[in-house]
């Protein structure tokens, strides 16, 4: 029996999608919102967390009496990485790969927005003001991509393709990486940060990466550096970031994720002129929801036929280990 | 004797630049604004049009009694392509090459702005509104670059590097071009326009290209197409473009050049939500003015030593012919 946790606004599209109809023809499917999750989990073998923003799984977990597999429709698995899940035998898979190139395009877009002052042009346009400025090149500028999973790799390839100089930061230092060249150790970040014009956060949220970008990290960056976060808001100590931006300790930030989402109306980030805010959408290309369901359906077919599942998360690490 | 036409606001930086000081040590240099141009031209062998926005050269031209060479600090030479100049023996050179990669970065930036709705995010941010949207990919999308000179080539290489499918349009159709693959004939543009998601105008302004983008051209484009102009405003019939944007005949435009500059305050382009206006700055990276003077100084050294000049414009074509 398959339980599907899904948001109210998505329920209709999801149940009527070709992939879910296909599944329903060969399995019992129980759709539920957050309130009914515990009931739905009772007797379920599989849980598909379609509503990947939900934080309801830990509370309903005791009802999972025969669950063997949990699939989440996102790349980050932090919403389901609680002790009861981590210590269980339940297999966890994610939607690795769906967002890689789309997020890479977004990152390049915000880097070019900073370099070419496109946000400045738009602000001036809204006032019908013609004001010539000189702007920056991106060729030859350096970027550190913190997070060496498939999204980080797609970002690195994209930035290299347009002439930027890219390094990575990951769990262990190494050189000769095909996408990054040099990979620095994330736990020694402050030593490397001073070298980079752009710092892109795309690491999975784990105990090790939580709060990685704090006052010390921002203090280590160039005053001209821009910080881009397409990972998780909790990678950042938000107060420290606000302070670094306010005091000009760093030059700007493009933020697609926040420790509280939606970003509260009274957050100072909304009104800072050197900040670009977007509502957790960097990877969400037109068609992404269908693609996410297809990824689950493919894995569900593997489950039914006994084939090995794709994108199995190492629950101790908190992400799918890289082949490299 | 060298005459230098230069704007008042640039005079000091220019005269004190290392390159112009070097020149002044071995040649008589006469700096002038527009008002004194005729006087300065009398007896001058060389004219350096540093103020490339000036339209003063044609009127002062009769005073040029021994001019042999005119250099302009821009890529486009249309401000000095009047009959008296075209039919004279005066050699014309331009600043080809300086802006290529910078403009290519700008073009990619506005394409990503459209695809990722970055301007929409900024408008929502100004209202502190969190509103998720799904956005477009650029990989696999098609772009037609109209203009196959070095700037168009740099644009083509940049867009290909990020996974777009690029063709060119130039004076004559051909295939197998190293940067464009297929090059279509500009005079049959409407036949090819329906195939492209992005249309980038970067052709030199000549009798053939003036008004190339008119109602018929916009009618031939996809309703989802975006038009980017980094060439010259006069390549476009502005009224036709406004109408195409207003009626949704095309989806958007990013315009860095206009037939009247600065763009008049009452232009409807300022306030259209699907239009990005920038003030003729797409190529103007930090340091561009110094680079332009260095390009002239290099050519002036060639002139003094009898070496062949670089970037000699074919005055019948109106641009430096490509090697290809």
Instruction: Over range A45-52, report the average pLDDT.
Output: 97
Q: Measure the CA–CA gap between B185 and B192, rounded to whole angstroms.
A: 9
Q: Measure the CA–CA gap between A307 and A301, rounded to whole angstroms.
A: 8
pLDDT of residue A324 exceeding 60: no
Instruction: Over range B200-208, report the average pLDDT.
Output: 96
pLDDT (0 to 100) of residue B36: 97
Q: How confident is the model at residue A322 (pLDDT cuts 50, 70, 90)?
A: confident
Instruction: List all residues of chain B from 241 to 270 with a beta carbon under 8 Å from chain A.
Output: 261-263, 265, 270
What does B205-232 look like in DSSP terms, one character per residue? --TTTTT-B-HHHHHHS-TT-EEEE-S-
Instruction: Over range B18-30, report the average pLDDT.
Output: 96
List pLDDT tens digits, range B97-126.
Answer: 999 999 999 999 999 999 999 999 999 999
- Write down the ipTM of this complex: 0.95
Q: How many Å lie between the alpha carbon of B148 and the closest alpha carbon of chain A?
A: 20
What does A19-32 look like in DSSP terms, one character per residue? HHHHHHTTS-EEEE
DSSP B236: B
Helices (H) and strands (E) in chain B, counts: 12, 13
Write out the catalytic residue numbers of B: 232, 261, 280
**Residues in B touching A270 (Cβ below 8 Å):** 125, 128
Instruction: List all residues of chain B from 102 to 131 with a beta carbon under 8 Å from chain A.
Output: 102, 105-106, 108-110, 112-113, 115-116, 118-119, 121-125, 128, 130-131
Instruction: Over range A76-95, report the average pLDDT.
Output: 96
Distances (CA, A) of B258 to A244, B149, B220: 39, 20, 22
Decide: helix, strand or coil at residue B54: coil
Q: Measure the CA–CA gap between B256 and B268, rounded to whole angstroms.
A: 15
Asked whether the beta carbons of B142 and B167 are under 8 A apart, the reply is: yes
A162 — contact with chain B (CB < 8 Å)?
A: yes
Selected catalytic residue, list A141, A171, A232, A249 = A232
Mean pLDDT of chain A: 97
Q: How confident is the model at residue B322 (pLDDT cuts 50, 70, 90)?
A: confident
The C-alpha angle with vertex B103 and arms to A163 and B145, in degrees rounded to 5, equals 100
Q: How many Å lie between the alpha carbon of B70 and the closest alpha carbon of chain A?
A: 26
Selected catalytic residue, list A68, A280, A301, A302 = A280
By DSSP bridging, strand A198-201 and strand A226-229 are parallel
Q: Measure the CA–CA gap between B197 and B163, rounded to whole angstroms.
A: 13
Verify whether the Cβ–Cβ distance B115 to A102 is below 8 Å: no
Asked whether the beta carbons of B231 and B206 are under 8 A apart, the reply is: no
Q: Measure the CA–CA gap between B64 and B271, rounded to whole angstroms.
A: 44
Q: Quickly name the fold that domain A100-277 has.
A: Rossmann fold (3.40.50)
pLDDT of residue B324 exceeding 50: no
List pLDDT tens digits, range B61-80.
Answer: 999 999 999 999 999 999 99
The C-alpha angle with vertex B268 and arms to B263 and B272, in degrees rounded to 5, equals 110
Q: Measure the CA–CA gap between B196 and B184, rounded to whole angstroms.
A: 13
Which among A108, A121, A279 has CB closest to B112? A108
Which regions of chain B carry the CATH code 3.40.50.720? 2-98+286-305, 100-277
Q: Measure the CA–CA gap between B50 and B229, rounded to whole angstroms.
A: 23
Q: Measure the CA–CA gap between B278 and A83, rounded to whole angstroms.
A: 53
Q: Measure the CA–CA gap between B193 and B189, rounded to whole angstroms.
A: 6
Q: Quickly name the fold that domain B2-98+286-305 has.
A: Rossmann fold (3.40.50)
The C-alpha angle with vertex A242 and arms to A241 and A247, in degrees rounded to 5, equals 100
Chain A's closest residue to B266, CA to CA, is A128
pLDDT of residue B31 exceeding 90: yes
Mean pLDDT of chain B: 97
Q: How confident is the model at residue B323 (pLDDT cuts 50, 70, 90)?
A: low
Which among A122, A133, A284 has CB closest to B119? A122
Asked whether the beta carbons of A74 and A94 are under 8 A apart, the reply is: yes
List pLDDT tens digits, range B253-298.
Answer: 999 999 999 999 999 999 999 999 999 999 999 999 999 999 999 9
Read off the tokens for A6.
Answer: 């899904």
Distances (CA, A) of A45 to A27, A65, A142, A308: 11, 9, 48, 16
Which among A105, A116, A263 has CB closest to B115? A105
């Amino acid at each position: 029996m398959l339980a599907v946790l899904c948001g109210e606004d998505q329920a209709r599209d999801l149940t009527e999608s070709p992939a879910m109809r296909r599944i329903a023809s060969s399995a019992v499917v129980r759709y539920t919102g957050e309130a009914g999750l515990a009931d739905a989990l009772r007797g379920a073998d599989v849980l598909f967390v379609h509503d990947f923003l939900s934080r309801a799984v830990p509370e309903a977990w005791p009802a999972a009496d025969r669950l063997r597999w949990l699939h989440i429709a996102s790349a980050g698995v932090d919403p389901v990485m609680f002790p009861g899940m981590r210590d269980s035998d339940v297999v966890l898979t994610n939607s690795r790969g769906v967002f890689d190139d789309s997020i890479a395009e977004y990152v390049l877009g915000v880097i070019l927005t900073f370099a070419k002052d496109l946000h400045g042009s738009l602000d001036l346009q809204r006032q019908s003001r013609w004001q010539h400025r000189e702007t920056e090149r991106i060729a030859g500028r350096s970027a550190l991509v913190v997070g060496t999973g498939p999204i980080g790799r797609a970002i690195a390839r994209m930035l290299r393709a347009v002439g930027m100089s890219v390094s990575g930061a990951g769990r262990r230092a190494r050189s000769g990486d095909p996408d990054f060249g040099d990979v620095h150790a994330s736990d020694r970040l402050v030593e490397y940060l001073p070298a980079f014009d752009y710092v892109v956060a795309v690491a999975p949220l784990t105990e090790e990466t939580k709060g990685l970008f704090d006052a010390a990290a921002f203090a280590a960056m160039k005053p001209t550096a821009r910080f881009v976060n397409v990972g998780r808001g909790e990678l950042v100590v938000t107060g420290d970031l606000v302070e670094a931006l306010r005091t000009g300790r760093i030059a700007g930030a493009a933020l697609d994720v926040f420790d509280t989402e939606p970003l509260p109306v009274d957050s100072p980030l909304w009104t800072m002129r050197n900040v670009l805010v977007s509502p957790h959408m960097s990877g969400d290309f037109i068609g992404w929801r269908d693609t996410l369901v297809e990824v689950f359906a493919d894995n569900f077919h593997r489950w039914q036929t006994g084939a090995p599942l794709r994108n199995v998360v190492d629950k101790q690490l908190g992400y799918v280990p890289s082949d490299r």
